Amino acid sequence: MPGAHTLYEHIVIDEEGNPVIAGTTMKIIELVVEKLAHGWSAEELYFQHPYLTLGQIYSAFAYYFDHQNELETEIEKRLCSINELKKYLQKR
């Protein structure tokens, strides 16, 4: 997957502006949400996603912590969208 390079060895920005792990479709935000939701360590995420390396996972975390406010805003936006969709579907 081609993308714009970043200062992080394993992270690129995809065509939609999302930071992803280079050579995969794994968005940083998806990995972070799994960590937050399940309390998983980098090693557990590696177990759950054996196609990733620990270096890629730690690079994703470094990107996240350096861009935490921006990514948490995006997580909150996605949660709101999910909640709105749930409300809509319940009304049907």
Domain locations in the chain as residue ranges? 4-91
- Does residue 13 contact residue 3 with C-beta atoms inside 8 Å? yes
* % residues pLDDT > 70 (the chain): 98
- Identify the CA nearest to 9 among candidates 68, 54, 69, 72: 54
- Identify the CA nearest to 29 among candidates 66, 69, 60, 62: 60
Pick 32 or 3 by higher pLDDT: 32
Count of CA atoms in the C-beta half-sphere (13 A) of 81: 6
Dist CA 75 CA 46 (whole Å): 22
Q: Where are the alpha helices (DSSP H) in 1-92?
A: 28-38, 42-48, 54-66, 68-91
pLDDT digits (tens, 9 = 90+) for 10-32: 999 999 999 999 999 999 999 99
Q: Which fold has domain 4-91?
A: Arc Repressor Mutant, subunit A (1.10.10)
Confidence of residue 52 (pLDDT cuts 50, 70, 90): very high
